[in-house]
C-alpha cells in the first residue's frame, strides 16, 4: 500500500503517501514548477518554504528533449531531491485542444524521467461542453487508461488515473466507477479549474462528491488545479488529499496577494495581514517600490507560505476533530464558499461515515447549519434505531438541558435527582436545541455533554427539536410524561407535545420560574403514581 491513513474527520484525513524519494504527508499541495522558467527555484521551495514535493510538466520536458537518447532524470533537471510528480500534457489539451505526443509515448517518457508520481495522458472535459462531448472525454480517458496500464513497466512509480466528466456529476460518477476498477495508486478529479476560477464552489462540491463516493477509499484523491488557501479546507473535508496549482505564481504576476479570506491586490494593501517570513519586517509600500521581478518573487513566496500554513492548519484541525469548525469558519469569508458549505450539507450522511465516534474535543455548534454535523446526525439516528428506555419506565421526566449541565454544583439538585432515580418507574431525560432529547444514562457519552453551542433561537431550530422529541416519544413505551419548562420556547414546545399525544400519553407541562425547592416539590407531586401499575418495577 502506498497510502497510509493516520487520522480522519468528515471525509478529510491526514496520511502518508509513500514514494521512492520519500514520504509526503497529506493533505498536501504540490506547487507547479515550470521546467523551463521558475519564479522560485525548486531548491528554495524546499529549503526556505518547506515543500517536500512539487509537480512539473513532463510534456514540456518531452518537447525539449524529444528525439534525444540521453535525457536527464527529472530530479537532476530541476535540482530537487524531494518527491516529484509529473503531468502528461493534459493541461495543454485543455488550453490548446491537442498535443503532439501519444499517450503510450508520454508514459514511457515519464518512466525515463524517473518520476515518483506520474499522470497518464487523459482528455480533460472542460466546462462549457455538451453532455455528448463530456461523455466522449470520459470514454476516451478510460481507453487511454487501459492503454497506459498495458505499457507501464515501472512499479515504483505511483500512477494517477484521472476522473473526467466535468460539470456532469452523473458522468463523473461513471468515470470514477470505471477508473476504480483499474490498478492505479492515486486518482484525480479533472477539469475543476474553470469552475474554481468562476467561484462555482457549490458545483465543485457536487463534482468532488460524485468522484469521491465512487472511488476506493484507500486511494488518495488529487484535485487538479486547486491551490487557493480560501477553499482548501472545504476540499479536504470532501475527501481530497492532494492538490496542485501554479496560482501562487500566476497571481503574483498579476500583483495578487493570497489569504484565507480571499485575494487582495498589492496596490490596495496598507498592511500585510500575515507574519510569514516573506511579510515579516516589511510593508506593502516597500514592496511596491521593488523591481517587477523582485515584487513578483515576494508575492509568489507569500502565496506559497499562505497555502502551506493553511495546509498545516487543516491537518491540525483533523487531528483535533475540528475540521467542521474550520470549514464553517472559512465559509464565512466569501458568499461563494457559504453556498458551497450549504451544498455540502446535502452529503451530511456521507460525511458521517468516516467521522470518529469520539474525539479529543467537544463539537462547537454555532449556526443552524452546524446541526447537520456528523456527530449530531449519528446521535439522532442511533437514538431512534438502537436505544430503548428502561423496561420498568412508565413515566418520563423531561428536564431542560441547562438543569442537567455537569458544572451545576447544587446539592439540592443532586438530592432531587437521586430521589427521582429511586422511583424506578420514572425515566429522566433532558431536552434542548442541539440534542432534542438525551436519556440521563447517556448524558456523559460523547458528544452529548461535551458540546458547546451558541445557537440563536429560531422557529426552524425549535421545530427540528420538536420533531425528534416527538419521534422518540412515539417509539418509547411511556404512559405519562412530565415536561419541566423554564423558558417561553420550552413552554410552547410542551403545549405542542400535549396536542400531539393527548390520546396516547398523559403529558403535563410544569412551568417553573426557577429551579428551587418549591419547583422540586411540584415535580415530585406530578410524578406520584396514580395506580398500582405505575409502581411495578
- Predicted local confidence at residue 537, as pLDDT: 35
| From 9, 87, 114, 241, active-site residue | 87
Cα 333 from Cα 289, distance rounded (Å): 30
C-alpha cell at 500: 400531539
144 in Cβ contact with 124 (< 8 Å): no
- Predicted local confidence at residue 530, as pLDDT: 62
Cα 202 from Cα 277, distance rounded (Å): 34
pLDDT digit string (tens) for the chain, length 537 residues: 589 999 999 999 999 999 999 999 999 999 999 999 889 999 999 999 999 999 999 999 999 998 888 999 999 999 999 999 999 988 888 887 888 999 999 999 999 999 999 999 999 998 889 999 999 999 999 999 999 999 999 999 999 999 999 999 999 999 999 999 999 999 999 989 889 999 999 999 999 999 999 999 999 999 999 999 999 999 999 999 999 999 999 999 999 999 999 999 999 999 999 999 999 989 999 999 999 999 999 999 999 999 999 999 999 999 999 999 999 999 999 999 999 999 999 999 999 998 999 999 999 999 999 999 999 999 999 999 999 999 999 999 999 988 876 545 667 878 888 888 888 899 999 999 999 999 999 988 999 989 999 988 888 999 999 999 999 999 998 999 999 998 899 999 999 999 999 888 899 999 988 888 888 898 998 887 665 444 433
Beta strands 452-453; 480-485: pairing state: unpaired
478 in Cβ contact with 394 (< 8 Å): yes
The gap between the terminal CA atoms of the chain, to the nearest Å, is 56
Q: Do domains 3-246 and 364-534 have the same CATH topology?
A: no
Topology of domain 364-534 in CATH is Rossmann fold (3.40.50)
**Whether residue 87 lies in the annotated active site:** yes
- Predicted local confidence at residue 179, as pLDDT: 98
DSSP state of 513: S
Q: Vertex 397, ends 394 and 402: CA angle to 5°?
A: 160
Cα 316 from Cα 310, distance rounded (Å): 10
Where on the phi/psi map is residue 480: left (φ > 0), alpha (ψ -120 to 50), or beta?
A: beta
- Predicted local confidence at residue 404, as pLDDT: 75
* Other residues' Cβ atoms within 10 Å of the Cβ of residue 332: 13
117 in Cβ contact with 85 (< 8 Å): yes
Cα 274 to Cα 70, 118, 283, 284, 495, distances in angstroms: 46, 35, 10, 11, 53
C-alpha cell at 403: 438543569
Q: CB pairs under 8 A, 24+ apart, for 486-491? A: 486/400, 486/402, 486/403, 486/511, 486/512, 486/513, 486/515, 487/400, 489/457, 489/462, 490/400, 490/431
Residue 176 C-alpha from the chain's centroid = 20
Structural domain boundaries in the chain: 3-246, 364-534
C-alpha cell at 491: 413552554
HEC string of 193-227 equals HHHHHCCCHHHHHHHHHHHHCCCCCCCCEEECCCC
Under CATH, domain 3-246 is a member of which superfamily? Queuine tRNA-ribosyltransferase-like (3.20.20.105)
Amino acid at each position: 500500500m502506498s497510502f497510509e491513513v493516520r487520522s480522519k474527520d468528515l471525509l478529510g484525513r491526514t496520511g502518508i503517501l509513500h514514494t521512492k524519494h520519500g514520504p509526503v504527508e497529506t493533505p498536501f499541495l504540490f506547487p507547479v514548477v515550470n521546467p523551463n522558467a521558475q519564479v522560485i527555484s525548486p531548491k528554495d521551495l524546499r529549503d526556505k518554504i518547506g515543500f517536500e514535493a512539487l509537480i512539473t510538466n513532463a510534456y514540456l520536458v518531452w518537447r525539449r528533449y524529444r528525439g534525444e537518447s540521453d535525457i536527464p532524470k527529472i530530479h537532476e533537471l530541476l535540482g530537487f531531491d524531494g518527491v516529484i510528480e509529473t503531468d502528461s500534457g493534459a493541461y495543454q489539451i485543455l488550453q490548446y485542444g491537442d498535443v503532439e505526443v501519444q499517450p503510450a509515448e508520454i508514459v514511457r517518457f515519464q518512466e525515463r524521467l524517473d518520476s515518483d508520481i506520474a499522470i497518464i495522458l487523459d482528455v480533460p472535459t472542460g466546462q462549457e461542453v455538451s453532455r455528448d462531448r463530456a461523455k466522449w472525454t470520459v470514454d476516451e480517458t478510460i481507453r487511454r487508461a487501459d492503454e497506459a496500464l498495458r505499457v507501464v513497466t515501472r512499479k515504483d512509480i505511483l500512477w494517477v488515473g484521472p476522473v473526467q466528466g466535468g460539470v456532469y456529476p452523473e458522468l463523473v460518477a461513471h468515470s470514477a466507477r470505471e477508473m476504480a476498477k483499474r490498478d492505479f495508486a492515486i486518482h484525480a478529479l479533472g477539469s475543476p479549474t474553470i469552475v474554481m476560477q468562476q467561484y462555482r464552489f457549490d458545483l465543485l462540491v457536487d463534482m468532488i462528491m460524485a468522484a469521491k463516493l465512487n472511488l476506493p477509499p484507500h486511494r488518495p484523491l488529487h484535485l487538479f488545479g486547486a491551490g487557493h488557501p480560501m477553499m482548501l479546507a472545504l476540499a479536504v473535508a470532501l475527501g481530497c488529499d492532494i492538490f496542485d496549482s501554479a496560482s501562487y505564481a500566476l497571481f503574483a504576476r498579476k500583483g495578487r496577494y493570497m489569504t484565507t479570506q480571499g485575494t487582495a491586490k498589492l496596490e490596495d494593501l496598507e498592511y500585510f495581514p500575515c507574519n510569514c517570513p516573506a511579510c515579516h519586517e516589511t510593508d506593502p509600500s516597500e514592496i511596491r517600490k521593488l523591481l517587477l521581478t523582485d515584487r513578483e518573487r515576494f508575492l509568489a513566496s507569500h502565496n506559497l507560505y499562505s497555502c502551506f500554513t493553511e495546509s498545516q492548519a487543516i491537518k491540525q484541525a483533523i487531528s483535533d476533530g475540528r475540521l467542521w469548525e474550520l470549514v464553517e469558519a472559512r465559509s464565512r469569508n466569501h458568499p461563494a464558499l457559504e453556498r458551497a458549505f450549504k451544498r455540502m450539507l446535502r452529503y451530511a450522511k456521507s460525511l458521517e461515515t468516516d467521522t470518529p465516534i469520539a474525539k479529543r474535543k467537544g463539537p462547537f455548534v454555532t449556526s443552524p447549519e452546524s446541526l447537520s454535523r456528523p456527530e449530531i446526525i449519528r446521535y439522532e439516528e442511533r437514538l431512534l434505531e438502537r436505544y430503548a428506555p428502561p423496561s420498568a419506565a412508565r413515566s418520563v421526566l423531561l428536564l431542560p438541558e441547562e438543569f442537567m449541565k455537569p458544572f451545576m454544583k447544587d446539592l439540592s439538585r443532586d438530592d432531587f435527582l437521586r430521589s427521582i432515580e429511586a422511583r424506578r418507574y420514572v425515566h429522566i431525560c433532558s431536552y434542548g436545541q442541539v440534542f432534542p432529547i438525551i436519556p440521563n444514562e447517556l448524558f456523559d457519552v460523547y458528544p452529548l455533554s461535551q458540546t458547546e453551542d451558541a445557537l440563536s433561537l429560531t422557529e426552524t431550530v425549535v421545530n427540528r427539536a420538536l420533531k425528534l422529541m416527538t419521534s422518540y416519544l412515539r417509539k418509547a413505551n411511556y404512559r405519562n410524561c412530565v415536561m419541566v419548562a423554564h423558558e417561553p420556547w420550552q413552554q410552547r414546545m410542551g403545549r405542542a407535545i400535549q396536542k400531539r399525544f393527548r390520546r396516547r400519553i398523559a403529558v403535563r407541562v410544569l412551568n417553573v420560574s426557577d429551579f428551587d425547592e418549591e419547583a422540586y416539590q411540584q415535580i415530585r407531586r406530578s410524578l406520584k403514581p396514580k395506580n398500582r401499575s405505575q409502581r411495578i418495577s
